Amino acid sequence: MAISQDGWGRGGMALGRRDSLALLTDLYQFTMAYGYWRAGRQREPAEFELFFRRCPFQGGFALSAGLGECLAFLRGFRLREPEIEYLQSVLPSTMEKAFFDYLRTVDASEITVSSAPEGSIVFATVPLLQVKGPLLVVQLLETTLLSLVNYASLVATNAARFRMLAGPDKKLLELGLRRAQGPDGGLSASKYSYIGGFDWTSNVLAGNLYGIPVRGTVAHSYVMSFTSAMEVLFPMQTLKPLDGDEPVDFLPLAETWLRQVCQTLQVPYDRVNHGELAAFISYAIAFPHNFYGLVDTYSIMGSGVPNFCAVALALNQLGYHAVGIRVDSGDLGKQAREIRQVLRTCSANFQVPWFATIPIAVSNDVSERSLEELMQEGNEIDIIGIGTNLVTCPLQPSLGCVYKVTSSVGYSLTRGIIALNPSTHTPLTWEANVCLRFLAGLAFMDLMALEEEPPPRAGQEVAVLLLGRSEVARRVTPTAVEILHRTYFKDGQVCQALPSLLEIKSHAQASLSMLSPAHKRLQDPEPYQVAVTEKLHFLLSDLSRSSQ
């Protein structure tokens, strides 16, 4: 599979446009780099790990995201002459010029990065990235890698939580661009919400860059811009029937249907807002195949819904089908049920079977709590638009990833079906992540072993100790073993064929399906366990004692 050179374009690979971010870092990275260089340590081998200490949102898991952006950044990492000149202007003038000559040679050609596939479930203290290479270079990468992973993983996890609350059948629309932390935040939110389980975005640029399906309806301002039916009377707005007959004057047709709808629903015709009717007519004529009505600008049941039904039935008479109705305020669940009943009534009275199943979309500051209430009470909602509470992650605004130098001791990681949240704050380095899976097919445990230890095999009994929580070994027998960590970057090149955004999304959903419901609970989840082999446990104990 070819690796894209120009970002996550439509159908492209998971590499973003991150080839000029060498200065997207903290100043102290360069002062430390100078210290390493002065001490002659710039090429000393080093290993760092990027991880978080607690699962976000008081949950039991996170989704790893941002790997593609990190790889694109590494592939283009170098300091160009204008950047060197800028550094010379802001760093102390006492620094030797030879250091800046050295910076001109710095790139990522000796960097090795290992990671779980993007979209994998990950847990506290387990590395999202392992970075190896010359000390000076590995240090310079810290801030940028943290920036590319922290928010990406946080919002992907937040999106996954919304998806779990909504269930598999509801369509989720991300519409947070106007509420996001700037344009870059909006683009990242659209991309990683899609990975986390959202179906669509309203963000047109995200759709163009990343191939995410885009959707949109109409705003209250459009409806309010019409004040009278006269605005679609002169000039007369006509619509050609789908079968190709002569164009029909649409306003009289819609008004005829409105009288019938009002009589059926027992709504006074003279109280219906005719400016709203004009707005719906205008939009229907512009988009007869894609008519969507926003019905809460005025009275929902006294105006918006009757007007929508009238225009939708007029379209139906000409061979077209309305595609949806949207509510953006009030008690969303109650209103959706009332709207569905109206649609069913019109369907039966006017003998239009499809009318009863017109999709109902809702929005209005939907949060985890309000979505949970909607799902518990039962509803007639088909599409849920979520913005602010998705993209700003108000329950936890930062994942809190850190990037720490590790000991020189290597170890491997095994994932099995009981998983723990390790309590240690000084993890060592591992080379592989192996997933132990019981017959139920659910993830059981992340098991870390020394690099020299052979990975366990399916059916092989292994003695383990729960990391930070047990001094007594227990024995587990995996029914399947999966290597999770892979080398993605080596010798200056991306060395794995990267999946598309849709493939990453599919992997995220498959990865989440490996967790038991107890681990996926949004409140008070059962902690996923991480364990170590006996040999690694003894080594960790020795290291702990020697550091005291």
Q: What pLDDT sits at residue 415?
A: 42
Q: Which candidate, 128, 105, 85, 83, places its Cα nearest to that of 37? A: 105
Residue 422: asked if its preceding bond is cis (omega within 30°), the reply is no
DSSP string for residues in 308-361: HHHHHHHHHHTT----EEEE-SS-HHHHHHHHHHHHHHHHHHTT-GGGGG--EE
| Phi then psi dihedrals of residue 113, to 5 deg | -125, 130
Q: What pLDDT sits at residue 1?
A: 31
Q: How far apart are CA 190 and CA 274, in angstroms?
A: 37
DSSP string for residues in 280-314: HHHHHHH-TTS-EEE--SS-IIIIIHHHHHHHHHH
Least confident segment among 55-69, 352-366, 403-417, 425-439: 425-439
Residue type (1 letter), 473 = A
Instruction: Read off the pLDDT of residues 318-371 as tens digits, 9 standing for 90 and up.
Output: 999 999 999 999 999 999 999 999 999 999 999 999 999 999 999 999 999 999
Percent of the chain at pLDDT exceeding 90: 72
Q: What pLDDT sits at residue 507?
A: 97
Reported as a pLDDT band with limits 50, 70 and 90, residue 195 is very high
Reported as a pLDDT band with limits 50, 70 and 90, residue 543 is low
Q: How far apart are CA 12 and CA 16, in angstroms?
A: 10
Q: Domain 409-546 adopts which CATH fold?
A: nicotinate phosphoribosyltransferase (3.20.140)
Q: What pLDDT sits at residue 408?
A: 41
Q: What pLDDT sits at residue 535?
A: 83
Q: Which candidate, 387, 395, 383, places its Cα nearest to that of 365? A: 387
Q: Which candidate, 174, 102, 172, places its Cα nearest to that of 140? A: 102
Reported as a pLDDT band with limits 50, 70 and 90, residue 200 is very high
CA 360 to each of CA 277, 293, 363, 523: distance values in angstroms, whole numbers, following the listed order: 19, 10, 10, 29
Reported as a pLDDT band with limits 50, 70 and 90, residue 531 is confident
Reported as a pLDDT band with limits 50, 70 and 90, residue 131 is very high
Q: What pLDDT sits at residue 18?
A: 54
pLDDT at 136 over 80: yes
pLDDT at 186 over 60: yes
Reported as a pLDDT band with limits 50, 70 and 90, residue 19 is low
pLDDT at 251 over 90: yes
Reported as a pLDDT band with limits 50, 70 and 90, residue 484 is confident
Mode of pairing for the β-strands spanning 360-362 and 383-386: parallel
- Expressed in percent and rounded to 5, the helix, strand and coil fractions of the chain are 40, 20, 40
**Mean pLDDT of all residues in the chain?**
88
In sign, the C-alpha dihedral spanning 210, 211, 216, 222 is positive
Q: How far apart are CA 91 and CA 79, in angstroms?
A: 15
**What are the tokens at 20?**
């000029």
Half-sphere exposure of 389 (CA within 13 A, CB side): 17
Q: What pLDDT sits at residue 391?
A: 98
Q: What is the CA 173 to chain-centroid distance, rounded? A: 12
Of 18-27, 349-358, 464-473, which has the strongest mean pLDDT? 349-358
Could you name the CATH architecture of 220-381? Alpha-Beta Barrel (3.20)
Q: Find the largest Cα–Cα distance for the chain.
A: 90
Percent of the chain at pLDDT exceeding 70: 89
Mode of pairing for the β-strands spanning 45-51 and 112-115: unpaired
Sorted by where each begins, the domain ranges of the chain are 220-381, 409-546
Higher pLDDT, 474 or 165: 165
pLDDT at 454 over 50: yes
**What are the tokens at 280?**
């719906």
Q: What pLDDT sits at residue 337?
A: 97
Instruction: Read off the pLDDT of residues 7-17 as tens digits, 9 standing for 90 and up.
Output: 444 444 444 45
Q: What pLDDT sits at residue 548?
A: 62
With left for phi above 0 and alpha for psi between -120 and 50, is residue 30 left, alpha or beta? alpha
pLDDT at 436 over 70: no
Question: Do 220-381 and 409-546 agree at the fold level?
Answer: no
Instruction: Report the run of H or E that residue 215 belongs to, with start and end.
Output: none
pLDDT at 66 over 60: yes
pLDDT at 113 over 70: yes
Higher pLDDT, 305 or 548: 305
CA 111 to each of CA 35, 48, 50, 304, 492: distance values in angstroms, whole numbers, following the listed order: 20, 11, 15, 60, 7
Residue bearing tokens 């007869």: 288
- Say if CB 496 and CB 486 are below 8 A apart: yes
Query: For 511-516, what is the mean pLDDT?
Result: 92
